[in-house]
Structure 1
């Protein structure tokens, strides 16, 4: 698998996170980056040296990057490779980096930094410098290499990361020899049951009473919203029939049908919980017409949709329906069933 090294300063971590995620999800590649690959008490220097050994280096370049000692360490490790032109894939965050006149400030920054460091070391015997001498050489090396590094970076048609990650992932897929629209399936995402033709069999999921009650309440809200929308639209479009909807309580709703101003039917829709109505849990409809046209206060149902489990999901079973008895339904199906069974016969 191709190896990719993400080189960035921590002020640009958010951008690095986006690129890292895109490489994993779109290309199936986990890039090498310090926060993931440098363990406790491990050497940062040894990790940064890997920039010279990977297939692709993606430096996320900004003004902060170019003034960072560790970032420039990784950049120099990259350009030590004679084939670095083929492995460096810059992502430039700031357009002014393309202006050659602005390169001068970065060369001067490191030149002044190395001169300042050298002045600080003045007076220390050579045998006592230890790694400080190497650090001075490194600062001078950055100053000497900065112009060349920026020339390599700005000579390319670098895609703007602000226009999306597709160009980054398309580039990597091209290097991998894949089509741009290839979907990468990671090992952990494979369905081995499907691969071997084995049917998955699981124990039925057990839903708690609370989950069932919340499902019924949510279904009730969706059903009432759907019936209200349909009734309102029908009323606006028909000059003879008027269908009025009204909330009666927190768990019941009344639909009244008028033709030429005369009430033809009143239907109550509500939900019942396990504490009432013989322990039933679900949605009901009750025909409330009587000789006095008063709402019926009893529990005489003409439609009943009780909660059940089917294929490890909660559904409503049409326990009592003129058209679809014992059919499993979702909220939209119940809306249709109530309309066809209890409203449509009175308006046609």
Structure 2
């Protein structure tokens, strides 16, 4: 029978506890710990984020653990999961006491002071020299904001003491590992929106950015709007937030701040597999913004829209009224003005239309 996976999160000065723990539960679980999983020159951050995808997490809490960016970053990643408490087991080292309010406030103050100190130091240096350090500050900010809640939650748990290893083994014995679906079946569950977003960003720089304001919500890829809608269009916003969540849940993209997302190696692999399934013909869809392979030259495999469909509608509208506005076109196509602008720019770049201005007005001309 397949064994459950157990991620052990700890500070290296407590390796003796973890070594003993590994011996005690090694026969019942597949252990995931830094000394075994991180190869030479491999990403430590990628390993830390994998805590979310394991069946269980064991946190060996010590004084140094609660003051470590790396350890607390693993905690923050774990807490992103809705069911994180149901799969988390806590061990307390001898040098830690977090049951009282005063003891918890010590660590809350520590992270507030740490954030202020690093923030002031970064402000004293030229911005272009500390971009990576600014990303680290964002981690510290998240820890500062979550440390109080984390300490409150674990202080409310009935944490075993003398029989902790026995209790962990009992928990593991009760766990049944369900058969895992193959990668192809998993990617189908992503849905059309998530697939379109993944393949498009993989065919670009591999980086997408979320931009929000009082007026709009946008997903940008290489400074171009992939999604652009009014902040009042909550249905569309919820739709694309769900697509992002799916990609992150499957480990296809990753983020530290929920603003800037990067494609993971798994994401690139999944994108390649999807394009092989779809076909080899390259298309660019103005409807769902998909940019990738298709088994039909003039049809989008994601939304089934005829490629160029919007271009023909806009050209027909220009033929009827050369002064037609973007707002009128957006109403005609039932899309945003930004999408209309993207299509108009595409037609201009192809040399199909041009903008003609006069002293009184401006109009479109089909070449």
TM range (shorter): 0.3 to 0.5
TM-score where L is the length of structure 2 = 0.45
